Amino acid sequence: MLESQFLTFMVPIGNRIGLLAQDAVPVEGPAWQQILFNPIGMITILVVLFYVMVLLPERRNRNELTKRLAALKKNDRVVTVGGIHGTIVNITESDKVVIRVDENNNTRLHVNRSAVSRVISDDDDKSVKP
């Protein structure tokens, strides 16, 4: 009894393994079909797409941010990563930026240069105000 149950379980598995062990049917047709249905070709295409769609734009954005942070100067109006608006008062050599937040109390914050997310220009102010 146990032997018959074992055979009924193992025979379909043996048939599946036999199907997997068969040679692949060669793809006949144009060269692009042969490349597309080749696993190495497909992986290569996916790697190239990933590079073009993810890594290149990220590198471009990082370079642009580095240029903007290097171009910071006194009296620039900035917004920090935390959403704090202020005006740059001083930039030290150790990548610290002092921003003035309140004109009346002369409140100043010391933040890292990397905490500045964007510089507000006069054009941005005109588009915000009605």
Residues 118, 78 contacting (CB under 8 angstroms): yes
Note down the domain range covering 103. Answer: 74-124
**65 and 43 housed in the same domain:** yes
**89 and 58 housed in the same domain:** no
Q: Both tokens of residue 108? A: 């100043």
Number of structural domains in the chain: 2
Mapped to the 3 state alphabet, what secondary structure does 105-116 carry?
Answer: CCEEEEEEHHHE
Is 10 domain-assigned? Answer: no
Q: Give phi and psi for 103, each to the nearest 5.
A: -75, -35
Q: Is the pLDDT of residue 89 over 50?
A: yes
* Residue percentage of the chain with pLDDT more than 70: 71
Tens digits of residue pLDDT in 16-54: 555 555 565 565 677 777 777 778 878 888 999 999 999
Contacts of 80 (CB under 8 A, 6+ apart): 86, 99, 111, 115, 116, 117
**79 and 65 housed in the same domain:** no
Is 60 domain-assigned? Answer: yes
Is 115 domain-assigned? Answer: yes
Is 20 domain-assigned? Answer: no
116-120 and 96-102 strand pairing: unpaired
pLDDT band of residue 103 (cuts 50, 70, 90) is confident
**59 and 79 housed in the same domain:** no
Tens digits of residue pLDDT in 51-78: 999 999 999 999 998 898 888 999 999 9
**112 and 82 housed in the same domain:** yes
**113 and 100 housed in the same domain:** yes
For residues 70-93, average pLDDT: 92
pLDDT band of residue 92 (cuts 50, 70, 90) is confident
**65 and 36 housed in the same domain:** yes
pTM for the model stands at: 0.56
**117 and 81 housed in the same domain:** yes
Q: How far apart are CA 24 and CA 11, in angstroms?
A: 23
96 bridge partner residues: 112
Is 55 domain-assigned? Answer: yes
